[in-house]
Structure formats: C-alpha cells, structure tokens
Amino acid sequence: MGIEEPTTGAAGVQPLLEALPAGVALSWGLSPSGSRGPKPGMSVPKIVEAAMSVADEGGLSAVSMKSVADRLGFTAMSLYRYLKSKDDLLILMLDAGFGPVPERLAEAAGWRAKCRVWAWGIYDSVLHRPWLVDIPIGGAPMTYYQMRWLEACLQALAGTPLNGEQKLHTALTLSSISLANARLSRDIGQGPSAADDAGARFEQAMTDLLPAGEFPQLLPLLRAGEFSADDSTATAHEHFEFALELVLDGVAGRIEAAASR
C-alpha cells in the first residue's frame, strides 16, 4: 500500500497532519506521535491488509474494527492506537485496493492507448475487489495511490494540446465511467443468472405494459429481445468498451480542435 516514510522534516509534518484527514495522512506515511505505544506484531499496513481480507470474503459490510481485530488476534480497542476511526480505515482500504498503476501502461503507445489501459485498470481493479465501489468517495483524490493514478493519466495526455483543466476533466471522466461500469458488471454478476430468464420475463412484462404511442423507440427494442441479450457480465464488459470509446472519441475531437487552433 502507499504508506511511505515522510519526506518532510519534523517541523513540516505537523501542518500537514492538521490540514489532511487522518487516513489521507497515513497513506502518505505521516502519522502523529501519540503517547500510546505500539503493540508488537501490529502496524497500519497489517491492519489494512486484514481489513481487505475481511472485505474480500464478506464484502464491505463485514468490515468492522472488531472483525479486523479478530482477524489479527487483537482487541478492537488496540486498533485505535493506529487509526482514529473506521472511516480512516476505509480511506486506506480504498487506496491500497487500487494499488499501483498497471505496469502495462508504460508499454502503451500514444495518449489514446494509454488512457484505454488506464481506464481498464480501474475497471479491472473493481472486478477483482468489488467492495471498492461501496466505499463512499468524499471528494477529490488525495491519498498516495489515488494521486499516482491521476498523475499517470495526466502524463498520458501530456503530449496533447489540451490545457491543464481539460486533461484533469478527461481523467475524472474516464475514472467515473470506469467505476460506474464496473459497478454495473458486478451487480449483473450478482443478479439472477441467464438461465433464470429474468431478462426475457422483464421484456414480456414491459411489452404488455407500455403504451405503444408513448414508447415508439423503446418497444421495438423490447420486442427484439435487446434487454435479455444484454443480461450478462460479458455484455456488461462490451458496454464499458463502448462507453470508453465514446469518451475517447470525444477527447480526440477536442485534441484535433485544439491542434487546429
């Protein structure tokens, strides 16, 4: 995970600790010096690793200070020597859950290929750890790995004529569609299987229910079986690819317009 040694002197650490949420500060290797001594065999990285294991097995709802402490063989109160709250733990789980930017990003040629690898990296991270999209995102990225991911996308766009604001919006848009589509893929995978024929039953019900005069575009799609055909995880991946290419086409158009000016 992204917990590293502080790179500033002791005098420079305290202002950062006061300005940053505790979990964010911990992700950068900054921690306040408290009077309570550490317990042997315990550390912030070990706590986060245990919490992620709990989430991997039972989802985010299974994560509590007690369940994590039980996994480590300690009491819940002992975790508070390292973390102020469960919210701080969730911040660190989100950071460590995505982890480093995929190495294959460096092998991609051109801004579009790099952005595609970057977006699929976010998507695949959620498929590997579905609970990541259940952690509330309270604002702009601030933790160590979040900032590394953002920097990687900005670097992918560095050679384009887009200005800084456009590059930042591109990164945030790619992140948003990646997370949203990964959530959709996860939810489809957790829903009824294709053998349950849920999609076909939905189409038949909607076909009988919707007045033809009010839904002239939607009804033909229902009658053609488009919804039941889409009721699979594989098709959800195709939806993401389609959405990603739409966004990248839009970015390409902005790049061409900027270059022409």
- Domain at 10-98, CATH from 1.10.10.60, 2.30.30.180, 1.10.3720.10, 3.40.630.30: 1.10.10.60
From residue 230, alpha-carbon distances to 203, 211, 236, 241 in Å are 12, 23, 7, 14
How many angstroms separate the CA atoms of 117 and 49, rounded? 26
Domain ranges of the chain: 10-98, 103-190+231-260
pLDDT digits (tens, 9 = 90+) for 179-229: 999 998 888 777 655 445 677 788 888 888 888 889 999 999 888 887 776
Q: Confirm if 35 and 80 have CB atoms less than 8 A apart.
A: no
Q: Given pLDDT bands bounded at 50, 70 and 90, which one contains residue 19? A: confident
**The domain 103-190+231-260 belongs to what CATH superfamily?**
Tetracycline Repressor, domain 2 (1.10.357.10)
Q: How many CB atoms lie within 10 A of CB 40?
A: 5
Residue for token pair 């009491």 = 75
The confidence score (pLDDT) of residue 12 equals 64
Q: Quote the pTM value.
A: 0.85
Judged against a pLDDT cut of 80, whether residue 232 lies above it is answered with no
